[in-house]
Amino acid sequence: MGYSDLDRPAQFLKGVGPKRADLLARLGLLTARDVLYHVPRRYEDASTVQKIGTLEPGTEATVVGRIVSKGVLPTRKGLRIFQAVVRDSSGLIECSWPGQPFLDRVLRKGDLLLLSGPVRFFHGRQLQPREYEILAREGEDISTEGGAVFPIYPATEGLSQRQVRKLIADNLDDLLPPAAEEEVLDPAMRAEARVPPLQDALRDLHRPHTLVEAEAGRRRLALEELFFLQLLHAIVHHQQTTQRPGIVFGRTDALVRPFYQSLPFALTEAQRRVLGEIGNDMGSPRRMNRLLQGDVGAGKTVVALFAMLRAVENGYQAALMAPTEILAEQHLRTLRKLVGELPVEVQLLTGRMSAAERRAALARIEDGTAQLLVGTHALIQERVRFHRLGLAVVDEQHRFGVRQRLALADMGETPDVLVMSATPIPRSLALTLYGDLDLSLLDERPPGRQPVRTALRYEKARSTVLDFIREQVAEGRQAYVVYPLVDESETLSLKSATEEYQRLSEEVFPELRLGIIHGQMPPDQKDQVMRGFAAGEIDILVSTTVIEVGIDVANASVMVIEHAERFGLSQLHQLRGRVGRGSAQSFCILLVSSPEAADRLRIFSSTEDGFRIAEADLQLRGQGDLFGERQSGLPAFRFADLEKDAGLLNVARVAARSLVDRDPHLSTYPELRQALERRYGERARLFQTG
Ligand code: ADP
Ligand code: MG
């Protein structure tokens, strides 16, 4: 077979006729290459297989043996049990599958089975397999080439996992050599990541001698996945930062210096470091395209204001875009306060402004009177014409799409772009999701903030918790009570939250003022409730889902989270961030239903470090679940695992950035470019025009 032979239809493989080909198509396997990359979903390691003769009742066991007899046994209660006696060199055991008489048609005498499940004592030793795999039929041998690891493949109806295994085993030796010609990772990168070449990796995946070998194979394919995505990011990064020249902001210090001197506090180490990174970007002809990650309260706004003032003192405008009206207004207040007496014109632009206000604002933006702009999506509408936009800051990046971020970046000339996020995520995830941005981390809190006291309580303690809310409200504080989003439609949680709201306001706290907010309310109504809460007109806010990100009600001191186990740790962290913003001691109380749930949440109650919590969340839930699919944009990796592969990711990132620096259009690497296009289609073609 030659190179392009991997593109041949799967039907040309040994043992595949038209009918087989249809079945393979059901698994999504159309070409020889598809079959080659159809890798096992897991392995059975027969080195852990036990001898049947040694099995003890009361233990879990994995065995390999042949069926010597079988049959269906009716019981008095009408339950039908499939039974088979299985033998290996050390002895016999009876295996029993209650309620599965159909297995009599699936399993045959002489089948070599891999079985695992509990061993019981029932008229003798009996295995109750939880899982079984047919390794071979009567007369067939399995070739393990001295190894003891059985690959278990995804299969489909009509094409068993055993048939898939045989098909691949029979064709593998023909498929590997042409695969070697498709190696696109250079030896230096592979050496650094310590992964084998492609051909070896594929062999290791399909025919491993040990689980360690199989893992080495996976890592090679994972590295390729990560590298390709990082290449794509590097190309976008190059386009955004280098292709179009950016603005060189000088150091006039006309505003930055007096601002620095006016601050009532010293900057944290992290703030200094990040300001250095931003300063380098702004002072260079490369455009800044940077993500600033930091927990709520880490001091991002102050950092952003330094950058904005630097733009303004160079004669440019700077804009800060927030995802909601309330947040925009909050930013406006903060900026006005921080700017103080400095000669800087601050201007708001949101959809709530009257037509006259809006007209005036647009005029001030266009003639350059307005220097610092704060607003919502209203800032990126077509009628907005900036006099001279030099810096675009986007708050809460994940609430906007990439398109909106780029829209602001395209306003005016080529403004520098600073994206802020208060959702700490593990570095590996940040590099994957936002790999086209440079990363800055504010991982230190300003001193002097009181930690939020976090407690885990079982649901039976609810009335004590409610009494506690009453006490806090009596002291003039406010509280949140949050219910989880149970399903996409939100109906279930909506019901529980509205019912609970009724009960709380009529029976439990008739003397207090309660409000409710949920995702199905129209935006103005939500806004109105949030404003009422912020103004202190509501004592207790019942909510179904996440309360507006970043909302700042300093007087709120209690956060009660019902069914806390249904939230991810990072979500809990966001919720907890709503309290502890004033001078009073704040509390976060998690109501849970079981000791297991409490265990899972212990790490959360022991730290307020958002990055540590995010790492723990990644470990607990895995990358797929970490963010709801819809908002994440996380690519579906087949091989890479962001939790395990952080090291590979770094290698991939550095290699991709340096390659694109040398050759932005990959013109000297046609095969790499081809492979990238094969993988990413349209997205990869983006850069050809650039
Ligand atoms: P973020 O935007 O990251 O949530 P902010 O910039 O709004 O955080 O800062 C939160 C609060 O901490 C503000 O009141 C701000 O003035 C204050 N702050 C920021 N940096 C420092 C610092 N280095 N020392 C003390 N207080 C600070
Ligand atoms: Mg620049």
At 232 the three-state DSSP class reads helix
Say whether pLDDT at 349 is over 90: yes
d(CA 466, CA 483) in angstroms, rounded, equals 15
Name which of 323-332, 341-350, 519-528, 541-550 the model is least confident about. 541-550
Phi, psi of 326, rounded to the nearest 5 degrees: -60, -45
User: Which one-letter amino acid corresponds to residue 582?
Assistant: G
What's the pLDDT at 414? 85
Q: What's the number of CA atoms in the CB half-sphere (13 Å) around residue 83? A: 15
- The encoded tokens of residue 449 equal 């903030």
Write down how long the chain is.
690
If phi > 0 it is left, if psi is from -120 to 50 it is alpha, else beta; for residue 595 that is alpha
Which of 284, 290, 324 is CA-nearest to residue 304?
A: 290
Answer for the pair 55, 76: CB distance below 8 angstroms, yes or no.
no
pLDDT-based confidence at 559, cuts 50/70/90?
very high
Exposure b/e, 432-441, CB count within 10 A at least 16 = b: bbbbbbbebb
The token pair at 415 is 């403004």
Ligand 2 mean position, distance from CA 409 (Å): 13
Collapsing DSSP to helix, strand or coil, 290 comes out as strand
The closest ligand to the CA of 549 turns out to be 1
Please check the confidence at residue 315 and state whether its pLDDT lies above 90.
Answer: yes
User: Which residue, 529, 438, 539, is CA-closest to 479?
Assistant: 539
pLDDT single digits (tens) 549-558 = 556 788 999 9
For residue 184, give the nearest of 201, 171, 163, 165 by alpha carbon. 201
Question: Strand 389-394 relative to strand 317-321: parallel, antiparallel, unpaired?
Answer: parallel
Give the number of C-alpha atoms closer than 13 A to the C-alpha of residue 556, restricted to the C-beta side.
28
Looking at all shown ligands, the one closest to residue 279's CA atom is 2
Q: Could you tell which of 301, 330, 397 is best to mutate to test the pocket of ligand 1, judged by most ligand atoms within 8 Å of the CB?
A: 301
- Give, using CA atoms, the residue closest to atom 17 of ligand 1: 299
The two tokens of residue 324 are 């909601």
Residue 362 contacts residue 390 (beta carbons within 8 Å):
no
Residues 171-198 pLDDT 10s: 999 999 998 888 999 999 999 999 999 9
Instruction: Compute the Cα dihedral for 53, 54, 59, 62 and give only its sign.
Output: negative
Q: What is the DSSP string of 93-142?
A: EEEEEET-TTHHHH--TT-EEEEEEEEEESSSEEE--SEEEEEE-TT---
Cα within 13 Å of Cα(552), Cβ side: 15
Q: Which helix (H) or strand (E) holds 307?
A: helix 300-313
Which atom of ligand 1 is nearest the CA belonging to 338?
16
* Mean pLDDT across the chain: 87
Task: Output the ligand 1 site: residues, CB below 6 A.
Answer: 265, 267-268, 271, 294, 296-302, 334, 422, 446
User: Where is mean pLDDT largest: 21-25, 85-89, 274-278, 593-597?
Assistant: 274-278
Note the ligand closest to the C-alpha atom of 302.
1
Any idea which ligand is nearest the CA of 441?
Answer: 1
pLDDT-derived band at 455, boundaries 50, 70, 90:
very high
C-alpha distances out from residue 418 to 280, 289, 304, 577, Å? 13, 6, 8, 23
Atom of ligand 1 nearest to the CA of 550: 4
pTM of the model: 0.76
Q: H/E/C letters for each residue in 628-671? A: CHHHHCCCCCCCCCCCCCHHHHHHHHHHHHHHHHHCCCCCCCHH
CB 318, CB 238: distance < 8 Å? no
| pLDDT tens profile 581-635 | 888 899 999 999 888 888 889 889 998 888 888 888 888 877 655 544 434 556 6
In angstroms, what is the span from residue 469 Cα to ligand 1's centroid? 28
pLDDT in tens, 2-21: 446 888 999 989 999 999 99
Choose the residue to mutate in 302, 393, 394, 551 for probing ligand 1, maximizing ligand atoms within 8 Å of C-beta.
302
Could you give the 3-state DSSP secondary structure of residue 87?
strand
Q: Which atom of ligand 1 is nearest to the CA of 442?
A: 3
With bands split at pLDDT 50, 70 and 90, how would you rate the model's confidence at 157?
confident
Helices within 423-578 (DSSP H only): 427-433, 462-474, 491-503, 523-534, 569-576
Which amino acid residue places its CA nearest to atom 6 of ligand 1? 299
Q: Taking 50 as the threshold, does the pLDDT of residue 488 lie above it?
A: no
Q: How far apart are CA 605 and CA 600, in angstroms?
A: 10
